[in-house]
């Protein structure tokens, strides 16, 4: 069973990086555009963390419902 390494919350999608090389992408019902528009530092941090996650990812899985995982949780797929 894979464990959640990193959780990233984008304006429109929530991403989970798992320790087995997979990433899970879950689209939100409604985009939260203001989430990054106000703080350029948080956007730069997110871009850096997202780039690192995608470099380490071998497979991306899309899901429709957010399981609400946190870092360290077991990811049951």
Tens digit of each residue's pLDDT (9 = 90 or more) over 51-66 = 998 998 999 999 888 8
Query: Does residue 77 form part of some domain?
Result: no
Domain count, the chain: 1
pLDDT at 3 over 90: yes
Helices of type H across the chain: 34-37, 40-56
Range of the domain at 50: 2-65
Query: Does residue 49 form part of some domain?
Result: yes
If you write DSSP's letter for every residue of 44-65 in order, what string do you get?
HHHHHHHHHHHHH-SEEEE-SS
What is residue 38's predicted lDDT score, i.e. its pLDDT?
A: 65
Query: Does residue 12 form part of some domain?
Result: yes
Query: Does residue 74 form part of some domain?
Result: no
pTM of the model: 0.80
pLDDT at 26 over 90: yes
């Amino acid at each position: 069973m894979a464990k959640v390494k990193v959780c990233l919350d984008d304006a429109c999608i929530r991403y989970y990086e798992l320790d087995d090389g997979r990433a899970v992408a879950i689209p939100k019902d409604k985009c939260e555009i203001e989430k990054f528009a106000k703080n350029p530092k948080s956007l730069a941090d997110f871009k850096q963390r997202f780039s690192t996650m995608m470099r380490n990812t071998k497979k991306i899985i899309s899901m429709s419902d957010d399981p609400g995982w946190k870092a360290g949780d077991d990811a049951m797929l």
